[in-house]
Amino acid sequence: MPGQPKRVGVLISGTGSNMKALVEASRKPGCPYQVACVVSNKADAGGIAWAQAEGIPTHVLSHRNFPTREAFDAALNGYLQSQQLDIIACAGFMRIMTPVLISPWAGRMLNIHPSLLPKYKGLRTHERALAAGDAEAGCTVHMVTAELDDGPVLGQARVPVLPGDTPETLAARVLREEHKLYPSILASFAGTMPASR
């Protein structure tokens, strides 16, 4: 018998289109996860306004108010621990995270990255794929570990690189795949996770 949907905390920094895709998928019958809260390190993240309007609990924690990465990560972890979460989904969360935040969620923290990892960890992934002359690009959902964009891969989606592509046109093509890949991988992950509450 399926248990309660797993409670997911989604971390964002901007538009939050992946977060929206996760929320929309969670509302379909039988989805094994629910988005319990959306957290941003930026108050003006578009995704925060959208989540608020949808009635999803939100929390803004500006990294600028903390003297070190570790201090910010400790405060963020404190909030996440208070929300009875099963899973953390980073969705365009543009922060390098320290073990202070990662370790408590080891094995329960996922990220989406806009490249076919292990290619192009870090930033400017589409620009780098075009500069390399790659015939295809894509996105990866992976477990978060202490190394940046390095944890075990849970799934990837591929798109062709087309003649005349710019970083923007390629990013848009990849983003459409991100919106399908992330909900699907998160649902599989949540659905196979043992009951914890």
Bond before 118 cis per omega within 30 degrees: yes
* Smallest separation (angstroms) from ligand GAR to the CB of 178: 5
Say whether residue 22 binds ligand GAR (CB under 6 A).
no
126 given a catalytic annotation: no
Residues 139-158 that bind ligand GAR (CB under 6 A): 139
Closest C-alpha among 151, 158, 143, 122 to residue 188: 143
Helix (H) or strand (E) segment spanning residue 58: strand 58-60
Write phi, then psi, for 136 (nearest 5 degrees).
-140, 160
Q: What is the CA radius of gyration of the chain?
A: 16
**Binding span for ligand GAR by CB under 6 A among 34-42, 98-106, 112-120, 183-191:** 112-120
Cα–Cα distance measured from residue 58 to residue 144, given in angstroms and rounded to the nearest whole number: 22
Interacting span for ligand GAR (CB under 6 A) from 25-33, 65-73, 108-116, 130-138:
108-116
Q: Which residue number, 1 or 88, has a Cβ lying nearer to ligand GAR?
A: 88
**In terms of CB distance, is 31 or 48 closer to ligand GAR?**
48
* DSSP SS3 for 161: coil
Q: Which is nearer to ligand GAR, 12 or 185 (CB)?
A: 12
Candidates 11-19, 70-78, 96-104, 151-159 — which segment interacts with ligand GAR by CB under 6 A? Answer: 11-19
Q: Which CB sits closer to ligand GAR, 82 or 96?
A: 96
Of residues 75 and 177, the one with the C-beta less far from ligand GAR:
177
Strands 33-40 and 6-12: what pairing?
parallel
Q: How far is CA 29 from CA 4, 25, 53, 185, in A?
A: 13, 9, 22, 17
Give, to the nearest 10 degrees, the angle between helix 17-26 and helix 46-53. 20
Query: Is there binding between residue 18 and ligand GAR (CB under 6 A)?
Result: yes
Binding flags for ligand GAR, 75-94, as an x/- string (CB under 6 A): ----------------xx--
Q: Which residue has the tokens 């589409």?
A: 126
**Which residues are catalytically annotated?**
113
Residues making contact with ligand GAR (CB under 6 A)? 12, 14-18, 91-92, 112-114, 139, 175, 178
